[in-house]
Amino acid sequence: MSKRRKNQRAAAPGGKRERVRDVFVPRPFEGLADEPEWIGLRELVPAASAPLRLTPALVEEYGDRPITLATVLPMAAPAMSRSDGHVFVGLQRHLQSGDVSRDLAESLLCAIRTEPGAPVSVPPLPGPGPRLQDILVDGPLEITLHENFEFWLAPEAAGDPTVQASLERANAAIYPTVRLAAARAAYWCRVPEKAHVRWVLPEAEEAALDALARLGAAGSLTLAEGTKFAGMFRAHGRLVPVWDLPEEPPAADWEAPVADFAKRYADALADTAPLDAAARRSRQGLLGRQLTLR
C-alpha cells in the first residue's frame, strides 16, 4: 500500500467536495507501552474496556472526567459522552483516516469537549493534530474483558426498553474470549465448531517472521497435539499468528502450551544466523498462508 493515499472529505461549505491527502501510518500505536494490546483490542477482542488518563495539561484544561477505552460502542460510534460525565472512546470504528492514533485522539478530544449526555460529533478526517501518544499518560492497559456490553450504560438507561433491545442485538455478536496469561496480547476465543489462539507478536515483522520460519522448519509451529498453525495476518505493523484448536477444552488448558511455544519462539528469535534452506522454504510458505481476519 502506498504511504500516501487520497481520501475524500465530506461536502465542504458551498456544496463542493474537497480532496485531501491523508498520510498512512503503518504502526499507529508505536511508542505506546502496550502497543500489542492496543492492536489486540482493536483486531481480536469483541467486548473489552480499559481506563485512560489524559496528560495533566489536558486535565487542567478540560477537567478530570473518567475516560474509558472500549473495543466498540453503540452503532460503532467513535465516542460517547454519558450523562454522568463518563467519556468513552471506541477503538473499532468504521470511518477512519490513515492514522488510527490521530483518529482516536480526535474522538477523545471531541468527547471531552462535549457536554455530558450530548451527542459527540467527530470529523471522519480530522486533519493534522495531536495523537494518542501526545494526549495520554502512557502505561500498561488495565484491560477488562466483558461477556456483554452493559458497561456502556449509564445507571438511568438500564431500564430503557429501546436501549435493552439494542444491547441484546450487540450481545448476540459476542463470542467467548479470554486473555491468556502465558503471553502478552495472546487471546483464546471459541467460535462455532472450533477455537483459536491469536497472539500479537511484539517484535518487528521481519524478525518475527524469521523466528516463525525457523520453528516451521523444525516442525515446531503447532501448540500441541490436535492443534494446527492456521497462518498469520498483519495488523498495524505487527504479525499475529493464529492456531486452530479443538472446541471443547477451556482457555485455561492452553496456558501451558502457549507458554511452551513462547519459549520456543524466544529461542528462535535469539538466533540471528542466516536462515538455512529449510527455513527459507518455511518462510515462503508462511507468506503464502497469510490470513484475512475480516
**What is the maximum span of the chain, computed from C-alpha positions, in angstroms?**
65
- What does the mean pLDDT of the chain come to? 89
Confidence of residue 86 (pLDDT cuts 50, 70, 90): very high
Q: Which residues contact 5 (CB under 8 A, 6 or more apart)?
A: 21, 22, 24, 98
The number of beta carbons lying within 10 Å of the beta carbon of residue 14 is 6
pLDDT value at position 175? 94
The number of beta carbons lying within 10 Å of the beta carbon of residue 194 is 13
Tell me which fold the domain 177-287 belongs to. Answer: Yope Regulator; Chain: A, (3.30.1460)
Confidence of residue 115 (pLDDT cuts 50, 70, 90): very high
pTM for the complete prediction? Answer: 0.89
CB 61 within 8 A of CB 203: no
pLDDT value at position 167? 83
pLDDT value at position 95? 67
CB 234 within 8 A of CB 290: yes
Distance, CA of 68 to chain centre: 15
pLDDT value at position 22? 62
Helix (H) or strand (E) holding 162, with range, is helix 161-171
The strands making up 79-81's β-sheet, listed across from edge to edge, are 79-81, 87-90, 67-70, 48-52, 144-145
Helix (H) or strand (E) holding 164, with range, is helix 161-171
Please state which of the ranges 9-13, 50-54, 115-119 shows the lowest mean pLDDT: 9-13
pLDDT tens-digit series, residues 121-143: 999 888 899 999 999 999 999 99
pLDDT value at position 223? 97
Is residue 188's pLDDT more than 90?
A: yes
pLDDT tens-digit series, residues 54-81: 999 999 999 999 999 999 998 889 999 9
Rounded to 5 degrees, φ, ψ at 173 are -90, -5
**Residues 68, 78: Cα–Cα separation, whole Å:** 12
pLDDT value at position 19? 36
Note the helical H segments in 26-117: 35-43, 56-62, 100-112
pLDDT tens-digit series, residues 192-236: 889 999 999 999 999 999 999 999 999 999 999 999 999 999 999
Bridge-based pairing of strands 87-90 and 79-81 is: antiparallel
pLDDT tens-digit series, residues 164-175: 777 888 898 899
**55-89: string of b/e by CB count within 10 Å (b at 16+)?**
eeebeeeeeebebbbbbbbbeebbbbbbeeebbbb
**Residues 69, 91: Cα–Cα separation, whole Å:** 7
Each domain of the chain, given as residue ranges in start order, spans: 4-171, 177-287
Is residue 1's pLDDT more than 50?
A: no
